[in-house]
Amino acid sequence: MIEIFEINNLEELSPEISGHHLVLGCGPRCSDYMTSKPDAPSPYFWTAFPKQENPYLTSEHIIDKEGWVHKKSIEDQKSMVTFDRIEQPADVLHLGSDTLFMFQDPRVSYAHVIMKRSITEPFANPDYDGKQIWFDLWTPYHDSVPDAERIFISYDLIPDRADLRKALKFVEHNLEKYKPMLYVQK
């Protein structure tokens, strides 16, 4: 499944992606590029495309009223691509030269945690930018903050303890803030 998001404040994640769509897919996992597999859910890689160059939203595509993206020629075929506009600005936390970006998915009870890192290690790969990491947290679930902590630590995404505490407070605050949104979504 591929999720495309148009987010009002995407440039706060990284200035060079202003005017882009954020694209989250369930393709290769970060754990695929590690010699030892951490005992934590694996994050994925995200990408961004300029709006007019997004290969998932060309003039050959249409977006139906529920947000599913279809090719015009095969509109009745089941789609694996969705498109959503996120009206509320995403929440942002700067940790030195790294940035965390978080928002509630309007379709499901998951919050997306997006990370723009200053380094690619240990995920350097010619096909994926190891600086661009994302994972989901189930919004109402009590273990989501510990899951975030396991991911941050196991994948060495936030090695500084003070920054880790800030990141976990950020995640916990936003998960609490997003809970009421679950009942007013489409």
The string of pLDDT tens digits covering residues 62-118 is: 898 888 898 887 666 777 899 999 988 999 999 999 999 999 999 888 999 999 998
When divided into structural domains, the chain yields a total of: 1
Task: Evaluate if residue 163 carries a pLDDT over 80.
Answer: yes
> What pTM was computed for the model?
0.89
Task: Evaluate if residue 21 carries a pLDDT over 70.
Answer: yes
Range of the domain at 89: 2-183
Q: Please give the sequence-ordered ranges of beta strands (E in DSSP) within 87-180, or none if there are none.
A: 91-95, 98-104, 110-116, 132-138
For residue 102, give every residue at least 6 positions away whose Cβ sits within 8 Å of its Cβ, in sequence order, or none. 90, 91, 92, 93, 111, 112, 113, 114, 170, 171, 174
Facing residues of 100 across strands?
93, 115
Task: Tell me which of 9 and 79 has the higher pLDDT.
Answer: 9
SS3 75: coil
pLDDT for the residue 79: 79
Confidence of residue 184 (pLDDT cuts 50, 70, 90): low
Gyration radius from the chain CA atoms: 16
Number of C-beta neighbours around residue 98 at 10 A: 19
pLDDT for the residue 75: 60
